[in-house]
Amino acid sequence: MKFDDVYLSGLGTFVPDLVTTEQAVQSGWYDSDVREASGLESVAISDSLSAPEMAVLAAKEAIRRSGIAAEEFGALFHSSAYHQGPDGWSPAHYILTNTLNTPITAMEIKQGCQGLLSSLAISAHRLACDSRKSAILLTAADNYSTPLVDRWTTSRLSIFGDGAASAVVSRTGGIAKLLSIGTRSAPAMEALHRGNEPIFPPAVTVGKGLDYEARVKFWMEEWAKGNTPPMEHPGEVLQSALDEALEDAGIAASDIKRVCHPSATLDALRDQFLDPIGFSLDSGIWEHTRKVGHISAADVFIGLEHLWSTRQVGPGDKVMLFTGSPGFEAGVAILEIVAEPA
């Protein structure tokens, strides 16, 4: 998908206090050998501030930075990977009430870690069709400090972090211009993220915790029995999305200065993503992601704000954002920075 005159006019983030992985080992939460292999230094943890409340804080910063008035916004899209609050309640409208407070549509886009990137694409499409409004507000947030999640052990690929990110998407200029978005899915891989867990009743309704490792163990046992998992290499799926995004942006991979990637252990980041698409660790944001943890859909936008606000990228630089979500689906957005931080 190629885009014209679509911008990130404002970025905002909220990252709570960090807890070191060394402290986690000392407290008995995290295995010392796993910590050593992971390369992860710390993770952002919020004991009490809810995901929607963190989203409000990030959104207020993004709106302020954009300089766009509330009446210019046409919609709010909120993304998350885990539960946000009471069942039958709308976190998107809570965020809307406490930020823009205007009578526009507000909805959740539930696509796991890729939700905010997909929200960006949907926003661009909406702006192309709605001449009356010039901006869309995007938010993403999660808080894993709940009784049914052990952030340290639920996945061998990352440590789940808490936090939020927000972006104002508009036709009026700003921080970065959106050049293109590419996506690719491998739908048979949905079974990998399901394992042998029943679809109904949902696990959370019967008090069962989130445990990705149990699903991995199930498929390893099936493989040992001769039942091959429905597996494609995530890096190959990501490469297809990248090829599409590069073609639509009219640039080559060598034109990309920096890469914003999800937070993952060092081996997972290299083996599943960076190495297959031919990007080095130095081109990414490993030194940042190893400190904050995997903050689901907010991850790469927190990384983008970090690169921009610390002036590691500037006007003319091309930045790639990539994400992956259960399904399996990979997405790539290519941006050109057009402004420096004030």
Tens-digit pLDDT profile for residues 259-283:
999 999 999 999 999 999 999 999 9
Do 214 and 238 belong to one domain?
no
- For a pLDDT cut of 90, what percent of the chain falls above it? 89
Tally of domains in the chain? 3
Do 97 and 69 have their domain in common?
yes
* Per-residue model confidence (pLDDT) at position 231: 83
CATH number of the domain encompassing residue 238: 3.40.47.10
Between CA 331 and CA 236 the distance in angstroms is 12
The share of the chain scoring above pLDDT 70, in percent, equals 100
Q: Left (φ > 0), alpha (ψ -120 to 50) or beta: where does 196 sit?
A: alpha
Cis peptide bond upstream of 328, omega within 30 = yes
Residues 53 and 160 in one domain: yes
Cβ partners under 8 Å of residue 31, min gap 6 = 25
Same domain, yes or no, for 20 and 132? yes
Average pLDDT over residues 242-259: 97
In a domain, 69, yes or no: yes
Q: Per residue in 23-43, pLDDT tens?
A: 999 999 999 999 999 999 999
Q: What's the domain range around 215?
A: 187-224
Q: Which two tokens stand for residue 207?
A: 């008090």
User: Can you give 3-71 as a three-state secondary structure string?
Assistant: CCCCEEEEEEEECCCEEEHHHHHHCCCCCHHHHHHHCCCEEECCCCCCHHHHHHHHHHHHHHHHCCCHH
Tell whether 244 and 134 lie within a shared domain: no
Same domain, 135 and 251: no
For residue 154, what is the enclosing H or E element? none
pLDDT of residue 192: 87
**Rounded-to-integer distance, Cα 263 and Cα 59, Å:** 22
Backbone φ and ψ of 93, nearest 5° = -75, -30
**Is 1 among the domain residues?**
no
pLDDT digits (tens, 9 = 90+) for 162-217: 999 999 999 999 999 999 999 999 999 999 889 999 999 999 999 999 998 889 89
Tell me the backbone φ, ψ of residue 270, rounded to 5 degrees. -70, -50
In a domain, 2, yes or no: no
Q: Region 74-83: what's the mean pLDDT? A: 97
Which pair of tokens denotes residue 5?
């005159």
Average pLDDT, the chain: 95
Query: What is the Cα–Cα distance from 138 to 41, expressed in whole angstroms?
Result: 29
Same-domain check for residues 152 and 204? no
The two tokens of residue 262 are 């999800």
Flag whether 318 is in a domain. yes
Does one domain contain both 89 and 144? yes
Cα dihedral 146, 152, 158, 164 sign:
positive
CB 81 within 8 A of CB 164: no
Q: Are residues 289 and 192 in the same domain?
A: no
The answer as to whether 15 is a domain residue is yes
- Tell me: do 18 and 134 sit in the same domain: yes
Instruction: Flag whether 163 is in a domain.
Output: yes
Residue 327: pLDDT band by 50, 70, 90 thresholds? confident
Q: Kindly state whether residues 211 and 169 are assigned to the same domain.
A: no
Residue 49 has pLDDT above 90, yes or no: yes
200-205 LR contacts (CB < 8 Å, sep 24+): 204/83, 204/148
Q: Per the structure block, which two tokens stand in for 283?
A: 């081109």
In a domain, 216, yes or no: yes
Please check whether residue 342 lies inside any domain of the structure: no
Q: How far apart are CA 34 and CA 41, in angstroms?
A: 12
Expressed in angstroms, the distance from the first to the final Cα of the chain is: 31
170 and 204 both lie in a single domain: no
- Cα angle, residue 116 at apex, residues 194 and 17 outer, rounded to 5°: 90
Three-state secondary-structure class, residue 179: strand
Global pTM exceeds 0.75: yes
